[in-house]
Every structure is written in structure tokens, then in C-alpha cells.
Amino acid sequence: MLRVVSILTFFIFCIACTSSKIYIVRHAEKGKDPADNPHLSELGVARANDLANMLQGKHIAQIYSTELNRTIETAKPLSDKINVPIKYYRNDSLLQNLVRIVQSEKNTLIVGHSNTVLKMLDALQVAHPHVKEIPDNKYDYMFILRIKAKNPVGYSYHLREITYGKPSPAPGDSSGAATMK
């Protein structure tokens, strides 16, 4: 009987300590047309494909994007590769979406904007010590948020700040990247 209780306790502990990851990126490099909702540039298409190749084996179960061309086109290569549809969110409902994503305990990609990516981490009270802002010409940051369910309720977070794809130009270097958020 003691052995059965020990095994059950172990399984309950394992279930209670499940973890998932949220991958948060800014959309890839954008072109100039149309001015109010540009598509990705050639560099952006390459970065979106790099993102898809990097995440295809990461068991992504959800993909979130705003409804703008540049974010959709950043998410689409991964969506197509792993056959997971893109779910759309609005910036004004960001907090509600984050809560839902965390509670889902599923690996998730979120594609945002230079002015929303860090706000997502701030909303979850996750420190991002190495990145204080995302410059207009910086497209290669990826924030990997490991979420671990805590017993009995709540979550703990661990953040990795990395870059992916071809490096974005250094600050002050205007070669290549567009300048709007």
C-alpha cells in the first residue's frame, strides 16, 4: 500500500510540475508597402523562415499574432510547417491573452511588435535584464519564457534572452532594416 501511495504521489508531483515555453519575438524586417500595413522585406522573409526552422521541433501547440501583415507573415512559415493555425490577438487585450496562454500550459509562439514584446514580459512581472528596449532596427531578439506550474496554484518563470537568424544591424547602422515599429 505504501508503494502505491508513493507512486501516486510521484505522478501527482510530476503533473503538478509540468512546464511549457512561450517564445516571444518581434515581427521580422518589414518592407515599405503598403505604408500602413507593410509586408515583410526579403530579409524579413528569410528571418521568418529561420524562425520556423528553429521552432519546428519545439512542440509548438499555439501561435499568436496581431492581424497585421508583418506579424502574420512572420508566424506563417512555422504555422504552415507544423500545421498549427495562427490565432489573432489585439494589443488592447494583451493581458487577457497572456493569462490564457500561461494557463494553457502549451508551448506557444507569440509574434508582437517592438513596443509590445517587452510589455508582455512586464505584464507577467518577468525581468528582462539584458534587453531594456527594442530599437526600431532590431529584429533578432527572441525571449524564451519557461513556465513551470507550481503546486498548488501559481507559476514560476525563467527567461532566456537570445537572438536568432541573421544578426540585426548594430544601433546607428541603418543598412537594411526599416525604421518603423
- pLDDT tens for 1-48 read 555 444 444 444 444 457 999 999 999 999 999 999 999 999 999 999
The pLDDT value recorded for residue 76 is 99
Q: Please tell me the pTM assigned to this model.
A: 0.85
The pLDDT value recorded for residue 172 is 59
The pLDDT value recorded for residue 154 is 83
Superfamily for the 18-163 domain: Phosphoglycerate mutase-like (3.40.50.1240)
Provide the grid cell at 21. Answer: 515555453
Q: Going by DSSP bridges, is the β-strand pair 108-112/19-26 parallel, antiparallel, or unpaired?
A: parallel
Residue 139: pLDDT over 60 = yes
Task: Let me know if 90 is exposed, middle or buried by CB neighbors in 10 A (0-12, 13-18, 19+).
Answer: exposed
Kindly compute the dihedral angle of the four CA atoms of residues 178, 109, 128, 176, in this order, to the nearest 10 degrees: -20
Residue 152: pLDDT over 70 = no
- Cβ atoms of residues 38 and 70 within 8 Å: yes
